Amino acid sequence: MLFSEQNFRRGEFSGSIEVICGSMFSGKTEELIRRLKRAQIAKLNVEIFKPKTDTRYDETAVVSHDLNSIPSTPVDSSSAILLLGTNTQVVGIDEAQFFDDELPEVCNKLALKGIRVVIAGLDMDFLGKPFGPMPALMAIAEHVTKVNAVCMQCGSPAVYSYRTVASEAKVLLGEKESYEPRCRACYHALG
Ligand SMILES: Nc1ncnc2c1ncn2[C@@H]1O[C@H](COP(=O)(O)OP(=O)(O)O)[C@@H](O)[C@H]1O
Ligand SMILES: Cc1cn([C@H]2C[C@H](O)[C@@H](COP(=O)(O)O)O2)c(=O)[nH]c1=O
Ligand SMILES: [Zn+2]
């Protein structure tokens, strides 16, 4: 399924929520960008948001590890997403794990206004625990897509983000210098 369709109910567009989740390097951002660019090609009004704190590759754009990118608006809370333009038809949100607990309700309000909401985020933190608002978003979504990276130890499908540096902080921005994707067996072999 290409997720480019709008739902119809009684002849009017109705909104929906799609979640793309997985470990680091699993292709979440690429899949988000792919769906949003298709919506732009379909001439829909698309607005894209990311947390202001995520400055890893760019202050404003959403950028994948392969440096595919799409312009976005950095916001410091989920409620700011509700201030979008009145003719917005599709909303994209990247790094959803870093948002506050109000994000699911914000997305629900957008979907009830007829907006298609596409969200990407880490389902688990480096400890293998559910990350921020992601479990609640997955619960209320019409569609959940879980993507896998490649385990850097054995080449199997990877669902965990293993932290390779000494830090217990839940939030530690980084890429390959600080994390590697691992499969279940390699992650639990404790390094
Ligand atoms: N171990 C890995 N497994 C899969 N992809 C990887 C890996 N390391 C680097 N990549 C690259 O990362 C890209 C995915 O980047 P991105 O969409 O930004 O991932 P995510 O948002 O899930 O962190 C892949 O297309 C691939 O080129
Ligand atoms: C596992 C984990 C990750 N992070 C940070 C590291 C990156 O900056 C982002 C994830 O980016 P990606 O697009 O999914 O590659 O999150 C973190 O702060 N804490 C963690 O436990
Ligand atoms: Zn492995």
What would the pLDDT profile of 126-160 be if each residue is shown by its tens digit?
Answer: 999 999 999 999 999 999 999 999 999 999 999 99
24 lines ligand 1 (CB under 6 A): yes
145 lines ligand 1 (CB under 6 A): no
Q: Which two tokens stand for residue 76?
A: 């410091």
d(CA 29, CA 52) in angstroms, rounded, equals: 16
- pTM for the full model? 0.95
Complex ipTM value: 0.99
Tell me what percent of the residues of the chain surpass a pLDDT of 70. 92
d(CA 36, CA 58) in angstroms, rounded, equals: 18
Reported as a pLDDT band with limits 50, 70 and 90, residue 174 is: very high
Ligand nearest to the CA of 189: 3
Q: 181 and 152 in contact (C-beta within 8 Å)?
A: yes
Cα–ligand 1 centroid distance for 167 (angstroms)? 23
Q: 157 and 171 in contact (C-beta within 8 Å)?
A: no
The one catalytic residue among 18, 31, 47, 95: 95
Alpha carbon of residue 2 to chain centroid: 17
Evaluate if residue 2 carries a pLDDT over 60: no
* 142 flagged as catalytic: no
Mean pLDDT to the nearest integer, 81-98: 94
Predicted confidence at residue 14, as pLDDT, reads 77
Q: Which two tokens stand for residue 190?
A: 């404790």
Q: 22 and 58 in contact (C-beta within 8 Å)?
A: no
